[in-house]
Amino acid sequence: MVARWSVAAALVWAVVLVGRCSAADPFAYYNFDVSYKTASPLGVEQQVIAINKQFPGPLINVTTNWNVVINVLNSLDEPLLITWDGIQHRKNCWQDGVLGTNCPIPAGWNWTYQFQVKDQIGSFFYFPSLGLQRAAGGYGGITVNNRVVIAVPFGEPDGDITLFIGDWYNKNHTALRKALDDGKDLGMPDGVLMNGKGPYRYNTTLVPAGIDYETINVEPGKTYRFRVHNVGISTSLNLRIQNHNLLLVETEGTYTMQQNYTNLDIHVGQSYSFLVTMDQNASSDYYIVASARFVNESLWTRVTGVAILHYSNSKGKASGPLPDGPNDFYDKTWSMNQAQSIRTNVSSGAARPNPQGSFRYGSINVTQVYVLRNKPPVVIDGKRRTTLNGISYSPPATPLRLADEYDKKGIYTLDFPTRPLDGPPRIAASVINGTYKGFMEIIFQNNDTIVQTYHMDGYAFFVVGMAYGEWTEDSRSQYNKWDGVSRCTTQVFPGAWTAVLVSLDNVGFWNVRAENLDTWYLGQEVYIKVVNPESSDKTESPIPDNALYCGVLQNLQKPQKPHGSSETSSSSILDVGSKLLTLILLLASIAIFA
Ligand SMILES: *[C@@H]1O[C@H](CO)[C@@H](O)[C@H](O)[C@H]1NC(C)=O
Ligand SMILES: *[C@@H]1O[C@H](CO)[C@@H](O)[C@H](O)[C@H]1NC(C)=O
Ligand SMILES: *[C@@H]1O[C@H](CO)[C@@H](O)[C@H](O)[C@H]1NC(C)=O
Ligand SMILES: *[C@@H]1O[C@H](CO)[C@@H](O)[C@H](O)[C@H]1NC(C)=O
Ligand SMILES: *[C@@H]1O[C@H](CO)[C@@H](O)[C@H](O)[C@H]1NC(C)=O
Ligand SMILES: *[C@@H]1O[C@H](CO)[C@@H](O)[C@H](O)[C@H]1NC(C)=O
Ligand SMILES: *[C@@H]1O[C@H](CO)[C@@H](O)[C@H](O)[C@H]1NC(C)=O
Ligand SMILES: *[C@@H]1O[C@H](CO)[C@@H](O)[C@H](O)[C@H]1NC(C)=O
Ligand SMILES: *[C@@H]1O[C@H](CO)[C@@H](O)[C@H](O)[C@H]1NC(C)=O
Ligand SMILES: *[C@@H]1O[C@H](CO)[C@@H](O)[C@H](O)[C@H]1NC(C)=O
Ligand SMILES: *[C@@H]1O[C@H](CO)[C@@H](O)[C@H](O)[C@H]1NC(C)=O
């Protein structure tokens, strides 16, 4: 009797501990049914990728340190992985959703991601990471709010608006993929979408009738936080709102020095938050414009996104020409200067109350230097490919992290060159050997003629410098060692370099890639392997119970019963699910031991 009671008591205690843990760090649950949906954003019918029939997908709206559980059902006809751009997955690259860490979710299967948004705040987005699928949609926002006890360096806005901007083709992702496989260029996009919709008909010649456009409804006098993400394929966009200032406050998890911009260049994969005050007289609606950068305007007039800002007291429709953007086809200096004007507010806190400037990145000694040189596409073994340092990455059938877990050798090589190679370009699965707790300097040198953006998973890096010409050791004297912005995606102008510094404190395999989809698809990516030489459980999460197996480990995979899609819905139940489960377990254990 006594023994029985103590077992039950121990179980209750265990449940209390679990309960406490989830009370400190709540859970948010999502079901994502990823499927095709017919849409005609630019007036041409095509299959887009929707989540729970929504395009763009639902917002993941959570708070620092929350646990996020997302059950993804792949209702497409091809493999799927979703990556959570900018979420650092501390010690847990198993949830990163890229081919170096995860086997793809087969068509018809589901897979549940679970990760914690540990010590993060800010505006990010998720998207399907395989084979150009993002060109068909499948993206949505991730907002990580400050905990209530942590001060935000501006007053609470009256509303929060997520805005996706991105170039778009009327061809679907499989047709675009085929073009690239056939060695072709994607050519000029057919337009720019805003929240999955085509342009407002500001010009009857340029915009056909019957196109659905985005309207943002606002109240006069109020201030809104606009979280803007360039989710496009390869076009840098200039964002502006007619007659309104954009007060920049945050980028990819860093609170910036608050500054007004009349327009801002947003490159592929980048995210920004602006505060916009509705301080105009509403004599009409206002245009929200995203236009292509560094292109011949007379050829690209069609490729402009236009949405409508509608005050509740508006007296009429927007009309007349769009507000002008920068006109500097030949001169990218203005854009680079603008990029360098974006700086960290070192005195404000972020996920923690400590000032963002308390990590003195400028006084830490660099331990590893990599110069990654991007060249225009080349032909390797008869295929058109892109390279970094002469290497075009080809993802092995077995994810790198999984291969290590099962001690499978020969899947990849740990020999990525620290400097561009002189030899002929080659296709390989060559990985950067990162030193745990080291401080790495990466210089992206863009030898191509178009802007590229580079992203790093698992980390935020400090953008310390960018300039035209070739980077040399002397370039370090120009680095911003004090308030460079910490983010996960940086632009690199053509014929220029961008230098970043990153503290390698997160164990795992982390993807460094071109965010421009065609460049990425053709091989411009690499992984950085970071291992703790003193292996202990604390520095990395164990392989998840539901891990998928593929490649040389295919035989470990159990079959999955096909799913009906009816069971999934767009619900997000906070904490209730886990509490309920805990309660059921508790009742069950009491029943067993009574
Ligand atoms: C994409 O378009 C091609 C025709 O260009 C068509 O054959 C194919 O079925 C389409 N795929 C999807 C997923 O819509
Ligand atoms: C996101 O969550 C926060 C805090 O829970 C809430 O205040 C806010 O209204 C939500 N935002 C949206 C857009 O749903
Ligand atoms: C698939 O979904 C079902 C129910 O929605 C869930 O019980 C199961 O754990 C999921 N499977 C995986 C591998 O995530
Ligand atoms: C910087 O952050 C501080 C502290 O939150 C805030 O008071 C100040 O207004 C911010 N300054 C700028 C220029 O953003
Ligand atoms: C519409 O665009 C065409 C082509 O760029 C231009 O010639 C025309 O002037 C524009 N119409 C108006 C009303 O702005
Ligand atoms: C930004 O512009 C608004 C007007 O739109 C003005 O009220 C505000 O003071 C400006 N803020 C800064 C930091 O320049
Ligand atoms: C409203 O503002 C616009 C632009 O600033 C100005 O041209 C117009 O005269 C104003 N209208 C009224 C009724 O104040
Ligand atoms: C832009 O394209 C037009 C039409 O092809 C051409 O006439 C013009 O010279 C081009 N402008 C520049 C700056 O290259
Ligand atoms: C950095 O390196 C310099 C010169 O090698 C050395 O004097 C200094 O102590 C190092 N600083 C740190 C923080 O390790
Ligand atoms: C990778 O770097 C570690 C030090 O961080 C070193 O011990 C190891 O030998 C390196 N591996 C290779 C293959 O270079
Ligand atoms: C690319 O590199 C070559 C050789 O170093 C150089 O001549 C050329 O100017 C570079 N082009 C760009 C756009 O950086």
pLDDT digits (tens, 9 = 90+) for 119-137: 999 999 999 999 999 999 9
Strand boundaries in 92-168, DSSP class E: 110-116, 122-128, 140-145, 159-168
pLDDT at 87: 97
Encode 66-105: b = buried (16+ Cβ within 10 Å), e = exposed. bbbbbbbbbbbeebbbbbbbbbbbbbbbbbbbbbbbbbbb
111, burial (CB in 10 Å: exposed 0-12, middle 13-18, buried 19+): buried
> Among 499, 466, 234, 237, which residue's Cα sits nearest to residue 366?
499
pLDDT at 13: 33
pLDDT at 562: 65
| β-sheet with 452-456: strand ranges across | 432-435, 525-531, 508-514, 452-456, 489-492
- Find out whether the beta carbon of 437 lies less than 6 Å from any atom of ligand 10: no
pLDDT at 139: 98
Q: What is the dihedral of CA 85, 86, 92, 97, to 10 degrees?
A: 0
Q: At what angle do helices 576-593 and 2-24 cross, to 10 degrees?
A: 180
DSSP 205-257: TTS-TT--B-EEEE-TT-EEEEEEEE-SSS--EEEEETTB-EEEEEETTEEEE
Which ligand has its closest atom nearest to the C-alpha of 155?
A: 4
Which ligand has its closest atom nearest to the C-alpha of 170?
A: 1
The three-state secondary structure class of 411 is coil
**What's 240's DSSP letter?**
E
pLDDT at 250: 98
Phi and psi at 377, nearest 5°, equal -50, 145
Phi and psi at 19, nearest 5°, equal -60, -40
Q: For atom 13 of ligand 11, which residue has the closest CA?
A: 495
454, burial (CB in 10 Å: exposed 0-12, middle 13-18, buried 19+): buried
Judge contact between 207 and 200, C-beta under 8 A. Answer: yes
Bin 294: left if φ > 0, else alpha if -120 < ψ < 50, else beta: left
Q: Which of 248, 260, 342 to mutate to test the pocket of ligand 6 (most atoms within 8 A of CB)?
A: 260
Q: For atom 5 of ligand 8, which residue has the closest CA?
A: 299
Judge contact between 106 and 153, C-beta under 8 A. Answer: no
Q: Report residues of the chain scoring pLDDT below 70.
A: 1-23, 537, 562-594
Ligand 1 centroid to Cα of residue 174, in Å, is 6
pLDDT at 561: 75
pTM: 0.92
Judge contact between 91 and 539, C-beta under 8 A. Answer: yes
pLDDT at 563: 62
Ligand 4 centroid to Cα of residue 348, in Å, is 6
Count of Cβ atoms closer than 10 Å to residue 535 Cβ: 10
Count of Cβ atoms closer than 10 Å to residue 423 Cβ: 7
Structure confidence by residue, pLDDT tens digits, 539-553: 899 999 999 999 999
d(CA 211, CA 302): 13
pLDDT at 579: 41
Ligand 2 centroid to Cα of residue 385, in Å, is 43
pLDDT at 25: 94
Judge contact between 516 and 449, C-beta under 8 A. Answer: no
Judge contact between 452 and 388, C-beta under 8 A. Answer: no
